[in-house]
Amino acid sequence: MNVHAGTISRPSVCPHDCPSACSLEVELPGNNRIGRVRGLAAQTYTDGVICAKVARYAERIHHPERLTEPLLRVGPKGSGQFRPIGWDEALDRAAEAFLAAEAESGSEAVWPYYYAGTMGLVMRDGIHRLRHAKRYSGMFDTICTNPAWTGYVAGTGRLAGVDPREMAKSDCVVIWGTNAVHTQVNVMHHAIKARKARGAPIIAVDVYMNDTMKQADMPLLVRPGTDAALACAILHVLLRKDLADRAYLAKYTDFSSEIEAHLASRTPDWAEAICGVPAGEIEAAARLLGARPRAFFRLGYGFARQRNGAVAMHAALCIPTLLGAWQHEGGGAFHSNSGTYGISKRMIEGLDLFDPAVRMLDQSRIGAVLTGDPAALKHGPPVKAMLIQNTNPANVAPDQAKVRAGFLREDLFTVVHEHFMTDTALLADLVLPATMFLEHDDLYQGGGHTHLMLGPKLVEPPGQCRSNHEVICDLARRLGAEHPGFAMSPRAHIDWALTQSGRGSLAEIEREGFLDTDPPFARAHFLEGFGHRDGRFRFAPDWTRVPLKSDGLMGPWQDMPRLPDHWAAIEAATPDLPFRLVTAPARSFLNSTFSETPGSRKREGAPRLLIHPEDAAALGLAPGETARVSNARGAVEIAVEPFAGLRRGVVVAEGIHPNGAHRRGEGINMLTGADPVAPRGGAAFHDNAVAIRRLADQPSG
Ligand SMILES: Nc1nc2c(c(=O)[nH]1)N[C@H]1C(S)=C(S)[C@@H](COP(=O)(O)OP(=O)(O)OC[C@H]3O[C@@H](n4cnc5c(=O)[nH]c(N)nc54)[C@H](O)[C@@H]3O)O[C@H]1N2
Ligand SMILES: Nc1nc2c(c(=O)[nH]1)N[C@H]1C(S)=C(S)[C@@H](COP(=O)(O)OP(=O)(O)OC[C@H]3O[C@@H](n4cnc5c(=O)[nH]c(N)nc54)[C@H](O)[C@@H]3O)O[C@H]1N2
Ligand code: SF4
Ligand SMILES: [Mo]
């Protein structure tokens, strides 16, 4: 417990879907309210730094529009007409609908759908226990991590990397395809330490001059979906100038004369024609890296949200490997540590009841699933009932036109458990009010660092809010689902998971609020070998055998290049669709979250499209004028903002604003596609060919 100016503060954890997973210190002024939220200094990755939107969390937890009672739809679907009902009636109706769907079409007709709105293991993952016990359809969670994780693990064999605190000891920090200033502020904090203390330059790679690129010493502005060309040309220069670490390559990798011969033709001129970065800048970046093999590559998700994203991630990862950067403190690469915690989910998820014969449905293809696409349904029964927790698919999922049409089906019963009346809740039959993280106990692990953290219940929930765990257990009782996990409290689950995983116990983690699980140096730096069976990093990966969870091979995986290369699988611009649209993250929103808080709304304003001033002029679009952006999937009406910090032909829409913030109530995901990214699925949110016209020139009707 700490005391700031007379107010008590308690440790907690930010539960949101952010690699930073910050340890927090929450002021508790009394009256069941919270005050200022700060970063916890004692947790050395957070190091006292958090983002502004969470520092203002009082705005979200005490928001006057929070859902506080169960609501039943009374008007037509999507009308927003609901009436309050009691919990018993709400749960009875949900159970009745699930049992009816099961009786008509089998248990797979019920589809529990969830994501990482909370990253707490008990509250996020407990929904699996219900689905395993009831044999409901599973969800293959492709919406976020698959292309990036697949590309990384194809090289390393393991989803792990160098402790990100080592960035501060690096001679050069490369921030590739992540807008860290917006999406994980701690990366900048540690990178800037290296710049201040050691004069380490920061290289950034992105498609527009975002807030991270603006802070970089060497910003490399690529065309969307062309990072592998840039990476290959850097590899080419390093080899040509004899700056590769040959001894390291021989000992730790599959590097061969075949790969070297292949890269001999991937010159900076070749790359410039593809990625747009001038050959001279590519040479300069390679020379800088060659002189500073203690380089830290912080590889983000963004550049992998392209149809060739896994290939791009792998190609970028080959650079620190060619340099032998992994051998040095402060050198190597990091993408995610999600594969390092080894926390047993057996009790939380009811894994003892798991049956692999039950179908998995692709999270990103929810539109195709709900509109009855036979392949998306794996040629099984239609989905007739859903329980949705911690996600807002009507807003965030690709191919929004189909998602909306699916939710509007009269024969689908949708239960949405939420904090606010989101786009998805608006389409529900039943809306249940959920607790926020400070109102329940949970355990968190940092994807972007090395800590396990406890987020204890600190305040009482408003009104009748119930936690995800309570709702799952309440439903299980009514549905006849049996598992010991339904009778356990969240604290008992946390203790079970920690003790069974050899990570101490609840009592131990409660002392400081977190546990640093940083692996030994040699393991984190892969000096004991990479994760593949022969211990070698793969420059030539086998895309069919990446050691990660899988639901089979997807997308045009047969066409993937065997060696690092530009793969032209992206949605290329055409005369009809001449622009490439990237739907990048907004600083003050977190996916669809915080679009309800006054501070974030004020900072983000209305949706807008960044467009090169010459493109805007060529289209006759004045600043602030509304454009119609369209492709075969749909259209969005959005105001344009001329911005010189991007290449011609590229446009950027920051943030997933609520659908209703756009004219016609159609959000940015009207334009994004749900066709799976090879080889393991995922949505290419930043890979969209679009047409842009003045709204005023639009033919009516
Ligand atoms: N403020 C804020 N924080 C967030 C989120 C948010 O929405 N807002 N989302 C959270 C979630 S769920 C996640 S997964 C993480 C993701 O965080 P990041 O790893 O940062 O990934 P993205 O948000 O997809 O995109 C980051 C950057 O990728 C760039 N990009 C797009 N296409 C390309 C390309 O082809 N090449 C290159 N080099 N760059 C490209 C975009 O312009 C953008 O600047 O952030 C989390 N944190
Ligand atoms: N165009 C475009 N679309 C994208 C992306 C993009 O870059 N561009 N990014 C994609 C990515 S990376 C991701 S991860 C997805 C994420 O998209 P979503 O899964 O929708 O992400 P969030 O906004 O983090 O969380 C959704 C909801 O969870 C609710 N929630 C939070 N905690 C709890 C809880 O404890 N209980 C319950 N019941 N509900 C809770 C919040 O109120 C929020 O409405 O969006 C994807 N969509
Ligand atoms: S949203 Fe991310 S940066 Fe902000 S407090 Fe949460 S974990 Fe930290
Ligand atoms: Mo994500």
Q: pLDDT for 321-347, tens place per residue?
A: 999 999 999 999 999 999 999 999 999
Whether residue 195 is found in the same domain as residue 271: yes
Return the pLDDT at 701: 41
Q: Is residue 564 in some structural domain?
A: no
Return the pLDDT at 187: 96
Q: pLDDT for 112-132, tens place per residue?
A: 999 999 999 999 999 999 999
For residues 444 and 18, what is the distance between their CA atoms, to the nearest angstrom?
12
Whether residue 325 is found in the same domain as residue 349: no
Return the pLDDT at 7: 84
Q: Is residue 570 in some structural domain?
A: no
Q: What is the CATH number of the domain that holds 604?
A: 2.40.40.20
Whether residue 330 is found in the same domain as residue 187: yes
Return the pLDDT at 700: 52
Return the pLDDT at 557: 98
Expressed in angstroms and rounded, the spacing between residue 534 Cα and the centre of ligand 1 is 33
Return the pLDDT at 6: 65
Whether residue 194 is found in the same domain as residue 315: yes
Return the pLDDT at 699: 61
Which atom of ligand 2 approaches the CA of 437 most closely? 35
Scored b (16 or more CB within 10 A) or e, 363-398 reads bbbbbbbbbeeeebbeeebbbbbbbbbbbbbbbbbb
Q: Is residue 529 in some structural domain?
A: no
Q: Is residue 532 in some structural domain?
A: no
Residue nearest to atom 45 of ligand 1 (CA): 183
Q: List the structure tokens of 701.
A: 């009707």
Return the pLDDT at 663: 87
For residues 4 and 416, what is the distance between their CA atoms, to the nearest angstrom?
38
Nearest ligand by distance to the CA of 183: 1
Return the pLDDT at 678: 98
Q: Tokens 């249940």 appear where?
A: 432
Whether residue 329 is found in the same domain as residue 346: no
Which atom of ligand 3 approaches the CA of 24 most closely? 5
Which atom of ligand 3 approaches the CA of 21 most closely? 7
Q: Is residue 66 in some structural domain?
A: no
Q: Report whether residue 54 contacts ligand 3, using a CB cutoff of 6 Å.
A: yes
Expressed in angstroms and rounded, the spacing between residue 397 Cα and the centre of ligand 2 is 9
Quote the distance between the C-alpha of residue 119 and its chain's center. 11
Q: Is residue 18 in some structural domain?
A: yes
Q: What is the CATH number of the domain that holds 92?
A: 3.40.50.740
Whether residue 36 is found in the same domain as residue 108: no
Return the pLDDT at 5: 56
Whether residue 404 is found in the same domain as residue 490: yes
Whether residue 43 is found in the same domain as residue 120: no
Q: Report whether residue 21 contacts ligand 3, using a CB cutoff of 6 Å.
A: yes
Between vectors from CA 504 to CA 499 and to CA 508, what angle results, nearest 5°?
A: 120
For residues 168 and 298, what is the distance between their CA atoms, to the nearest angstrom?
12
Ligand 2-lining residues (CB < 6 angstroms): 16-17, 115-118, 123, 143-144, 389-392, 396, 417-420, 422, 434, 468, 583, 585, 590-593, 656, 668-669, 672, 685
Q: What is the CATH number of the domain that holds 32?
A: 3.30.200.210
Q: Report whether residue 185 contacts ligand 3, using a CB cutoff of 6 Å.
A: yes
Whether residue 131 is found in the same domain as residue 198: no
Q: For strand 608-611 and strand 650-653, is the pairing parallel, antiparallel, or unpaired?
A: antiparallel
Return the pLDDT at 3: 54
Q: pLDDT for 491-545, tens place per residue?
A: 999 999 999 999 999 999 999 999 999 999 999 999 999 999 999 999 999 999 9
Q: What is the CATH number of the domain that holds 255?
A: 3.40.228.10
Looking at this protein, which amino acid is placed at residue 500?
Q
Q: Report whether residue 590 contacts ligand 3, using a CB cutoff of 6 Å.
A: yes
Residue nearest to atom 16 of ligand 1 (CA): 301
Q: Name the stretches of the chain with pLDDT < 50.
A: 701
Return the pLDDT at 422: 98
Expressed in angstroms and rounded, the spacing between residue 592 Cα and the centre of ligand 2 is 5
Q: Report whether residue 195 contacts ligand 3, using a CB cutoff of 6 Å.
A: no
Whether residue 358 is found in the same domain as residue 269: no
Whether the predicted model's global pTM rises above the 0.85 cut? yes
Q: Is residue 521 in some structural domain?
A: no
Residue nearest to atom 17 of ligand 1 (CA): 183
Return the pLDDT at 524: 98
Residue nearest to atom 14 of ligand 1 (CA): 144
- From 504, 526, 559, the end of a domain falls on 559
Looking at this protein, which amino acid is placed at residue 249?
L
Which atom of ligand 3 approaches the CA of 590 most closely? 1
Backbone angles phi, psi at 240, to 5 degrees: -60, -40
Whether residue 12 is found in the same domain as residue 158: no
Expressed in angstroms and rounded, the spacing between residue 70 Cα and the centre of ligand 4 is 28
Domain residue limits at 684: 579-697
Q: Is residue 366 in some structural domain?
A: yes
Residue nearest to atom 4 of ligand 2 (CA): 396
Number of domains in the chain: 4
Return the pLDDT at 326: 98
Expressed in angstroms and rounded, the spacing between residue 600 Cα and the centre of ligand 2 is 16
Quote the distance between the C-alpha of residue 344 and its chain's center. 22
For residues 539 and 253, what is the distance between their CA atoms, to the nearest angstrom?
7
Expressed in angstroms and rounded, the spacing between residue 1 Cα and the centre of ligand 2 is 31
Ligand 1-lining residues (CB < 6 angstroms): 17-18, 144, 177-179, 182-184, 205-208, 210, 222, 224-225, 227, 300-303, 305-306, 582, 584-587, 589-591, 686
Task: Give the three-state DSSP class for 636.
Answer: strand
Whether residue 105 is found in the same domain as residue 10: no
Scored b (16 or more CB within 10 A) or e, 278-289 reads ebebbbbbbebb
For residues 335 and 449, what is the distance between their CA atoms, to the nearest angstrom?
10
